[in-house]
Structure 1
Amino acid sequence: MFAYIKYKKTIAAKQKEREDRIAELAPVYGTPLTEEETTIFKTPVPLLVAEIQKGLVKPIDVLHAYGKRALEAQATTNCLTEIMIKSAEKQVQICNTNGPLAGIPISFKDTVNIEGYDTTLGYATYAFKPVPQDSPLVKLLRDAGGIPYVKTNIPMTLLSYESYNNVFGRTENPHVKGYSPGGSSGGEAALLSYGGGRVGMGTDVAGSVRLPSHFCGLYTVRSSYGRIPRAANSTPTKGQDGITSIYSPMCRSFDDLEYVFKSIIQMKPWDYDYTVHPIPWREVTLAKKLKIGVMADDGVVTPSPACARALQLTVDALKKQGHEVVTFVPPSPLDALRITTQLICADAGKTATSQMYWFEPYDKGVTKFLHVERFPRWIKKIWAWLYLKVKGDKVIYTMLKDWNEKTMTEYMALVWEREGYRNQFYKAWKSSGIDFLVTVPNATPALPHNGMFQSFGSVGYSSLFNLVDYSSGVIPVTKVDKVVDALPSDFSLKKLNYIAKGAYRNYDAIKMAGLPVGVQIVGQRLEEEKVLKMMALTIDALKDIGVEYELLNEL
């Protein structure tokens, strides 16, 4: 009883702290954007940096513009956790105005440790425990001239494509109310998509920067392990390295994304963080004619009409440019999904949930799959066998039969399987002769709130590239059309496997109308520069056939 009272008081106090920090800001943040501030916010980051370096624009004016927009986004989407604008006002007076990110406000996923501010991870137990120093990533960005100004919301456990926690509540997708901005970097996606910033930093262990970007119409690239600093930040899944989480930028425009990624690499991140490979920025020139593989179906969940249409538009655009487009069939994506999810949840979520109060609720979808994982093994063996023999569902049989907490021996066997799969995928890629791979980021657009309860298993299009650690970017292509993207009249859930049924139970083109839809562009491991170049090529190819994505709330 006393613990529950403390828990409720902590949540109320933490939310009040956020409100007070907003209320204490200078009156300028409560006024509409001036014409000058509108121009500042609309200016691409590379151009704005150049103007700041020349003294044509003051960093404090940039902060005012970004701060106003961030607070608007918060009022609409509930995307922010820590309000750091007051500290940012002090930093703009001393920031490196000669650096590659001179005076640019940068938002951070709540997992990032920033001196003097909490990293609650959405847990009441971590509230009012400010971290003592910046993580290497923050130090690098400050040295480059960047200004941390807000932190953004996440799901508890980080195991969800929703962004809800008990401390800060639920974040809305700014495009369609009632839908998730994704997770676990969902607060970042909502902030940037609404127009509350242009540059943010998120993490990705199974699609956590790519899915929110797909759900919200943003640009991102999931870097391979060892390109971007990740040390000394926080996570509720401490020690989970079977599938390594990485940090990557998320941006409102492609030009900003490419510039920010290049700026980070040019700052020699290996001098800040022992996990980073000493690989300098590499200029890339692509061949005039490329061989591009297309993964149109992973064999687990067929892409929904909206996502399939975005992929087809991309394929058509690339073909028109003269590139060779071929079907790419990877080694069993179902095996990849099984290995990835079992490695990520090898402890049955015990580490992540041990940091919560025993009575504290968390994401319904996560609750569902963790409860199933903790069932007695013999029950799941029978359950899986019945699905296979009675319903002929090999997909759920494969996923369910060994869905349990792993012993160390079982964990080591999974890691060995991971390495075997990586080798198979590498050989398949090489034998196909493809330069890049194009596919959907997810089988559906954004999920409705609590949609993870049914759609928790359909993560294969993103998590596959975490398993093999390949560089993979997302660009927005179009938005859901209630007529064009409707399910065919003969569509039936009965024909689908258990995981596909869960995904399609949440697909409704009428309700989803207006939600963004993206495509995923994949290169090999540590090929971020090539992937960025391919993303630029694809954007130009789409423009050439008249497809140009329109950002939300563009000034």
Structure 2
Amino acid sequence: MWLFDSSWKDIAARKQADRAALIEAAKELLRSCDLALSDAYLRASAGEIIAHLSARTPGWTAERVTAAYISQAIDAHAATNCITEVLFQEALEAARALDKEYEATGTLKGPLHGVPVSFKDQYDVKGYDSSIGFSQWAYKPAKEDALLVAQVKAAGGIPICKTNVPQTMLSFECNNPLFGRTLNPWSPAHIPGGSSGGEAVLLACGGSALGFGSDIGGSLRIPTGLSGCFAIKCGEPRFSKTGAVSPNPGFETIRTIMGPMARSVADVKLACQTICGLPGGASEHLAPVPWRDVQLPKKLKIGYYTSDNVAENSPPVKRAVREAVAALTKAGHECVQFVPPNALEAMECFTALTSSDGYKELTSHLGPDPQDPSLFLVLLGPSIPWFIRSTAAWLLRTAVGDERFATLLAAARHKPVREFVHWTARRNELIDEFHAKVWAQHAFDFVLAPVQAMPALPHKATRTLIPLASATIYYNVLHYPAGVVPVTRVLPTDVWAEEAEDPGSVMLRTEMRKVYDPEAMKGLPVGVQLVGRPWEDERVVEAMGVLDAALGPRGFGPGTWTPAV
């Protein structure tokens, strides 16, 4: 019925025009704001903003800080197309109200008093759409704030905007028919990652002091890793998702984890300290445990790897891991290289579980919208007849010699409930096996791992390289807490040797080398993951701080972005 329907174009044009009008109106409002100290505001972390406002530092008010971040957000959006819903006028009004209240009472509203905050588009904000890029979901404003948004407001945070996502949010591209394509903040020719892509971009550009996204396969970690920010995916839900929309809300075998994204480890910790322990919605199962103070051993034992047997890691990705290891070793910690078990099997399990209904529910909301190219490989397996899929997998194994790609293709198909239950049991076995072979056998405090086998890809390259999300999906399947710390940037000298250095998919290696160009990718951020044991979210954030300090200043954090030329 939607084959020749172009109604989505009219909706997209209207939606984008509305957004542009709100941005222009905000520019007029900013003319009357004092932005003399904008540079100081933008170079301050969220925690430093609160400290200045609390101390009544001359020139520091919530209104002025919010105006500076709105101005920077407008510049960031002009360069990258990262914003979906514009809350600028309401943000300025909320900031003025905070200043007035603080002047009268001398008491901060809460631990996020005066901090400009942004949210991934899926979070409901009363009076605004949560379309997540579907034209059929546009112009259906939320009647209430998402619980997390309400909690941030109650803590004194000031929501300023919502940010862009990929179509269906099961991709690490960041493009949809309604709002268009978001660009990497360091190179407009490359992707920012996803699905919390717009959020990572806005933070990297300094257009927000704190952000919130979500993660089911790397959606907090991939964009922060590719855009140069920090994030934590808790092992179990500790941030509410009540009032956060999803194209597949009933899928819980791999949990969606809501969480913070920030420009510093300290701000990640601030968000966790503020929100964790607060009650969730009636149907949620959040741990009723406030963020705990933990002390790490002076000498940590950290396992690391540069190959996971799924995809060969590119030179800057390996270098990022080695630089992190060198910094930690110099700081007195023990780093031990090991082989991660069952990484391919974890990706196979994720593919099998998420494709069990043929992605029918996930794609049921597209309506007349054209399918984004980044979903090509995701949707390919279930869309072809079983005998073609089986033949293709056989050819991949026998003619191409790519057992890995064949395994993933074979897993992507419709399944009866009995087989779905089997794969759920296999997920639990993978958790047990990792525990025995890594945590128990090696007694590591943490695992240090790549975020992805490549730096940010050129736009549209995810069409054939979406399996690269396996590096983060690994820890979604295992339900482990994992944080991201930016380490370095791509250098023109990161030349990839012609001979394959690690085992990995032949198909992926071929596609990766087609688009890998260290000269074009020069300056793109490369981060690493720090992974902890179950229920050790606090320890992971502390370890992120240890690594960040060991690496030292390296051009990430507040005030480091300038628009790409």
Structure 1 and Structure 2 fold alike (TM over 0.5): yes
1:457–1:495 CA distance, 2 compared to 1 (3 A): closer
Q: Deviations over 1:289-331 (max 9, x none)?
A: 1111012210111211001001001111111222221123332
Between the aligned partners of 1:249 and 1:475, the Cα distance in structure 2 is 13
Aligned partner of 1:143 in structure 2 is: 154
Q: Aligned letter for 2:68?
A: A
8 Å contact from structure 1 (residues 175, 552) kept in 2: no
Alignment partner of 2:61 out of 55, 58, 62? 58
1:235–1:270 CA distance, 2 compared to 1 (3 A): closer
Between the aligned partners of 2:340 and 2:513, the Cα distance in structure 1 is 23
Q: Aligned letter for 1:532?
A: V
8 Å contact from structure 1 (residues 493, 504) kept in 2: no
Aligned partner of 2:104 in structure 1 is: none
1:200 deviation in Å?
0.7
Q: Is 1:472 aligned to residue 482 of structure 2?
A: yes
Q: Aligned letter for 2:322?
A: Q
1:218 deviation in Å?
0.4
8 Å contact from structure 1 (residues 106, 147) kept in 2: yes
Alignment partner of 1:227 out of 201, 222, 238? 238
Q: Is 1:539 aligned to residue 548 of structure 2?
A: yes
Q: Is 1:90 aligned to residue 93 of structure 2?
A: yes
Moved more, 210-219 or 280-289: 280-289
Taking structure 2 as the reference length, the TM-score comes to 0.92
Alignment partner of 1:169 out of 170, 173, 180? 180
Q: Aligned letter for 2:198?
A: G
Aligned partner of 1:39 in structure 2 is: 40
Aligned partner of 1:524 in structure 2 is: 533
Q: Deviations over 1:329-362 (max 9, x none)?
A: 332111011001222232222112211224x212
Aligned partner of 1:29 in structure 2 is: 30
1:148–1:382 CA distance, 2 compared to 1 (3 A): same
8 Å contact from structure 1 (residues 436, 522) kept in 2: yes
Between the aligned partners of 1:549 and 1:313, the Cα distance in structure 2 is 16
Between the aligned partners of 2:556 and 2:323, the Cα distance in structure 1 is 12
8 Å contact from structure 2 (residues 381, 410) kept in 1: no
Alignment partner of 1:387 out of 383, 389, 396? 396
Between the aligned partners of 2:86 and 2:25, the Cα distance in structure 1 is 11
8 Å contact from structure 1 (residues 181, 190) kept in 2: yes
1:43 deviation in Å?
1.8
Aligned partner of 1:316 in structure 2 is: 326
Q: Aligned letter for 1:455?
A: L
Q: Aligned letter for 1:179?
A: H
1:461–1:493 CA distance, 2 compared to 1 (3 A): closer
Alignment of 1:344-493 (within 5 A): 344-358=354-368, 360-428=369-437, 429-483=439-493, 485-490=494-499
Between the aligned partners of 1:242 and 1:255, the Cα distance in structure 2 is 32
Q: Aligned letter for 2:38?
A: E
1:493 deviation in Å?
12
8 Å contact from structure 2 (residues 213, 259) kept in 1: yes
Aligned partner of 1:122 in structure 2 is: 133
Between the aligned partners of 1:493 and 1:416, the Cα distance in structure 2 is 30
1:453 deviation in Å?
1.1
8 Å contact from structure 1 (residues 328, 432) kept in 2: no
Percent identity between the two aligned chains: 33
Between the aligned partners of 1:547 and 1:25, the Cα distance in structure 2 is 34
Q: Aligned letter for 1:82?
A: E
1:82–1:326 CA distance, 2 compared to 1 (3 A): same
Q: Is 1:109 aligned to residue 120 of structure 2?
A: yes
Q: Deviations over 1:118-145 (max 9, x none)?
A: 0011011011100100111111111111
Between the aligned partners of 2:34 and 2:491, the Cα distance in structure 1 is 32
8 Å contact from structure 1 (residues 195, 554) kept in 2: no
Moved more, 29-38 or 48-57: 29-38
SS of the aligned residue for 2:8 comes to helix
8 Å contact from structure 1 (residues 103, 146) kept in 2: yes
Aligned partner of 2:291 in structure 1 is: 281
Aligned partner of 1:300 in structure 2 is: 310
Q: Is 1:291 aligned to residue 301 of structure 2?
A: yes
1:364 deviation in Å?
0.8
SS of the aligned residue for 2:186 comes to coil
Q: Deviations over 1:441-479 (max 9, x none)?
A: 000100110011121112221110111111111111111
Between the aligned partners of 1:229 and 1:494, the Cα distance in structure 2 is 39
Q: CA RMSD in A?
A: 2.3
Between the aligned partners of 1:183 and 1:25, the Cα distance in structure 2 is 27
Moved more, 308-317 or 400-409: 400-409
Between the aligned partners of 1:402 and 1:540, the Cα distance in structure 2 is 42
1:94 deviation in Å?
3.7
Alignment of 1:9-20 (within 5 A): 9-20=10-21
Between the aligned partners of 1:192 and 1:372, the Cα distance in structure 2 is 35
8 Å contact from structure 2 (residues 312, 503) kept in 1: no
1:404 deviation in Å?
0.4
1:435–1:135 CA distance, 2 compared to 1 (3 A): same
Q: Aligned letter for 1:51?
A: H
8 Å contact from structure 1 (residues 77, 172) kept in 2: yes
Aligned partner of 1:342 in structure 2 is: 352
1:169 deviation in Å?
0.5
Alignment of 1:217-256 (within 5 A): 217-256=228-267
Q: Deviations over 1:67-113 (max 9, x none)?
A: 10101111110000000111222322444833000011110000001
Taking structure 1 as the reference length, the TM-score comes to 0.94
Alignment of 1:262-277 (within 5 A): 262-265=273-276, 268-270=278-280, 274-277=284-287
8 Å contact from structure 1 (residues 236, 351) kept in 2: yes
Aligned partner of 1:6 in structure 2 is: 7
1:16–1:528 CA distance, 2 compared to 1 (3 A): same
1:377–1:273 CA distance, 2 compared to 1 (3 A): closer
8 Å contact from structure 2 (residues 192, 456) kept in 1: yes
Aligned partner of 1:330 in structure 2 is: 340
Q: Deviations over 1:353-392 (max 9, x none)?
A: 211224x212213123303322111221121112212232
8 Å contact from structure 2 (residues 76, 82) kept in 1: yes
1:31–1:552 CA distance, 2 compared to 1 (3 A): farther
1:147–1:179 CA distance, 2 compared to 1 (3 A): same
Aligned partner of 1:152 in structure 2 is: 163
Q: Deviations over 1:235-274 (max 9, x none)?
A: 11221212111111111122222222222226x2458983
Q: Aligned letter for 2:435?
A: Y
1:379–1:134 CA distance, 2 compared to 1 (3 A): same
SS of the aligned residue for 2:22 comes to helix
8 Å contact from structure 1 (residues 219, 473) kept in 2: yes
Return 5+ residue gaps in structure 2 as ranges: 102-107
1:59 deviation in Å?
1.5
Q: Aligned letter for 1:180?
A: I
Moved more, 75-84 or 45-54: 45-54
Q: Aligned letter for 1:523?
A: G
SS of the aligned residue for 1:250 comes to strand
Between the aligned partners of 1:55 and 1:64, the Cα distance in structure 2 is 17
